[in-house]
Structure 1
Amino acid sequence: MPSMEDRRVLDLPLERAWKIGKNSFEILPQLMPEYFESIDLEEGDGGPGSVFVLTMGPGGRGRVVRERVDMRDDDRHKLKHTTIEGGDPRYSSFSSSIKYESGPYRNTTIRTWTAKYTPAPGVWAPPPEDLKGLSEKITETLHNYAAENPDYCAY
């Protein structure tokens, strides 16, 4: 299964970066309405087995996407989601994981996003650079919001 990765160093302590990342569904529609009209928890409590419904805005081509949480590990600071319905039709399967770990400097965090995907049968599908770009934009938006709002997801 092909994969791609993006790593970023964030100027945030690990625990705060993790808290922001795992709770991003609560604020992304407010911060990025052009991509996320709404993100609703359809099943579960946000942990493994939960299902989120993402109603995409114009930048997300107006699709409704259902994602299942496969893993949320608070001790290892890892999340994994799999698209189960409404994803990019170029791919028959798509999953992404995000891992947060201590960064190279005090109060920094390394965020690693990894996507695994399978092109749909009979379709030429390039690597999902647009989804990688969206992940980068989400990270940048959340990071900027955290910098401007020091109480957001503070300990």
Structure 2
Amino acid sequence: MGVITFHFDVPSTIPLARMFKAVVLDAGNLLPIALPQAVKSVEVLEGDGGPGTIKLITFAEGNPYKTAKHKVEALDKENFTYCYSIIDGEMLGTTFEKITFEVKINALPLGGSMLKCTNSYFTIGEVDITEEEINTRKEKASAMYEAIEAYLLENPDAY
């Protein structure tokens, strides 16, 4: 098994606490609203939202994937960090054992926040991911956070 890890940052005009609540604490409700073209539903299969919680993500029609199971690995509300893994679903294929996403949200000095993201792909055997594939994955993740930011800007009373 190998691990391919990459980091990227996503700046946001949304304040730290509001962004954390939207992206982490209420993502199950927000994702189908902010990204209806991508996410149909998020259902908690077991747990209370904390570590060990298993969620089933059902993707919208037209996506290459139908479902994914996420497992919450860590949640630290005081330090605004969150870690979850995709543990089952078509996107793992025969290439990945799991994919782990870590997010730390920091306040920016002049307002807003910075999402510091680390994605780790745990491979089955030796797998080579090209720089182009990594950039595509970064762009997709950034687009998700940007869609959430756009929703929050359009809905100032949400969260």
Q: TM-score, normalised by structure 1?
A: 0.88
Cα deviation for residue 83 of structure 1 reads 1.3
**In 2, Cα distance between equivalents of 1:78 and 1:15:** 11
User: Who is 2:115 aligned against?
Assistant: 111
Deviation per residue, 1:81-108 (Å, 9 max, x gap)? 0111113323222100111011131x21
What letter is aligned with 2:103?
I
Q: % of aligned pairs identical? A: 22
For the residue of structure 1 that corresponds to 2:52, the secondary structure is coil
Deviation at 1:59, TM superposition (A): 5.4
1:43-62 correspondence to structure 2 within 5 Å: 43-58=46-61, 60-62=63-65
Partner of 1:135: 141
Structure 1: state its 5+ residue gaps: none
SS at match of 1:150: coil
**Partner secondary structure for residue 121 of structure 1:** coil
Q: Does 1:152 align with 2:152?
A: no
Q: Displaced runs of 4+ in structure 1, greater than 6 A?
A: none
Q: How does 1:1-155 map to 2 (within 5 A)?
A: 1-22=3-24, 23-58=26-61, 60-86=63-89, 87-89=91-93, 90-105=95-110, 107-121=111-125, 123-126=127-130, 127-153=133-159
Q: Deviations over 1:93-130 (max 9, x none)?
A: 2100111011131x211111110112332654445444
Q: Distance in 1 between matches of 2:122 and 2:33?
A: 31
Change in Cα spacing, 1:35 to 1:59, as seen in structure 2 (3 Å) is farther
CA deviation string 1:54-94 (max 9, x = no partner): 11224541321101001111001001001111133232221
- Report the alpha carbon displacement of residue 16 of structure 1 after superposing the two structures with TM: 1.0
Q: What is the one-letter code of the residue matched to 2:5?
A: S
- Partners of 1:119 and 1:125 within 8 A in 2: no
Give TM-score scaled by structure 2 length.
Answer: 0.86
Query: How far apart, CA to CA, are the structure 1 residues paired with 2:142 and 2:61?
Result: 18
Backbone CA RMSD of aligned residues: 1.8
